[in-house]
Amino acid sequence: MANLKSIKKRIVSVKNTRQITKAMKMVSAAKLRRAQENVVAARPYAKKLGEVLQRLAQSQDSDGHPLLEKRVAEKALVILVTSDRGLCGGFNANISKAAERYIKERKGDYAEISLLTIGRKGYEFLKNRQTIRKNYTGVLSTLNYQTAAMLAQEVIAGYLAGDYDEVFLFYNAFRSVMSQDITLQQLLPITPPEAAAAEGETPPEYIYEPSMSELLGELLPKYIEVTMFKAMLESVASEHGARMTAMDSASKNATEMIGKLTLVYNRARQAAITTELMEIISGAESIKG
């Protein structure tokens, strides 16, 4: 009977766990819809801003801007975007390991490589393994453009002050509920995306008002802000997608485990009943004898 009680108790425990995982899946599904809408809305703006920068960067007047100028790279900063919460499969571990591998591979190219982590999980994974310059926790749960702009301005200020010569951004790009791509992007110095021109097409000439340098002075910091904001939006959507998938898998596993435990319980109960019947029959036979 003690064995039956323990099996029954475990079945109840797994059922309670399944209720929690199903609830978490529903919450993540609701949050994913909003996060996905934000990503889809941000992508065209970031793409068009990149195209504008690409046209400006083609002009000779754009040379010499500090955010475009390539230096001798002695110090590098890696920005890693993870989540503050777990229970989302390998979402955090995979990108943290990828960032760690990248740092180890590039260590010989720089005198110093440091990390700026956005999200508690990345910080906890790497705090005893790599040099972490700064960590931001809690910014992704209430993400807005002002927060991303503040972080971008801090990164730009450190770059202009010479704290680092190159800046790289690691984040999970959202593809679908079940697919997130680990993405590495160079943030500074800015390398505008190359525009694909049609064969034989002559690029148009533009008249800029105000001057080219003033436009670059406004647009280049804005490009860093938008890029960071988009990366953080992508990471948030990817997190909810990964958690939704992980909780769905956990719910299915719980259902399967409940079925197996129920079968074991029924067999144990049947064996206990058979044993009791045998004892009764044996007792009756001994009385007759």
Tens digit of each residue's pLDDT (9 = 90 or more) over 173-205? 998 888 899 999 999 888 866 654 445 556 566
Query: According to the model, what pLDDT value does residue 176 have?
Result: 87
Are residue 49 and residue 76 in the same domain, yes or no? yes
Mean pLDDT of 18-26: 93
Q: Is 268 helix (H, G, I), strand (E, B) or coil?
A: helix
Kindly state whether residue 198 falls inside one of the protein's structural domains: no
In this predicted model, which residue has the larger pLDDT, 288 or 259?
A: 259
* HSE of 79, CA atoms in CB hemisphere, 13 A: 28
Q: Is the separation of the CB atoms in 99 and 122 below 8 Å?
A: yes
Instruction: Give the list of residues 6+ apart from residue 235 with CB closer than 8 angstroms, or none.
Output: 81, 82, 83, 119, 140, 171, 172
Query: According to the model, what pLDDT value does residue 193 have?
Result: 64
Calculate what percentage of the chain has a pLDDT beyond 70: 90
Mean pLDDT of 113-122: 93
Are residue 103 and residue 216 in the same domain, yes or no? yes
Band (pLDDT 50/70/90 cuts) for residue 14 is: very high
Are residue 256 and residue 182 in the same domain, yes or no? no
Per DSSP, helices labelled H in the chain are: 2-57, 91-106, 120-126, 145-160, 212-288
Kindly state whether residue 200 falls inside one of the protein's structural domains: no
Are residue 72 and residue 123 in the same domain, yes or no? yes
List of long-range contacts for 210-217, beta carbons under 8 Å, 24+ apart:
211/61, 212/56, 212/59, 212/61, 212/62, 213/61, 213/65, 215/56, 216/56, 216/62, 216/65, 216/68, 217/65
- Residue 178's φ and ψ, nearest 5 degrees, are -100, 0
Of 229, 223, 97, 245, which is closest to residue 175 (Cα–Cα)?
245
Query: According to the model, what pLDDT value does residue 67 have?
Result: 86
Per-residue pLDDT tens for 63-76? Answer: 567 888 888 889 99
Are residue 224 and residue 113 in the same domain, yes or no? yes
Q: What is the pTM of this model?
A: 0.84
Catalytic sites, residue numbers: 88
Mean pLDDT of 160-181: 91
Residue 33: burial class (beta carbons within 10 Å; 0-12, 13-18, 19+): exposed
Using the predicted structure, report yes or no on whether residue 154 has a pLDDT greater than 80. Answer: yes
Q: Is the separation of the CB atoms in 114 and 131 below 8 Å?
A: yes
What does pLDDT average to over the chain? Answer: 86
Are residue 12 and residue 66 in the same domain, yes or no? no
Chain centroid to CA 251: how far?
A: 22
Query: According to the model, what pLDDT value does residue 198 have?
Result: 46
Structural domain span for residue 7: 2-24+250-283
Mean pLDDT of 255-282: 85
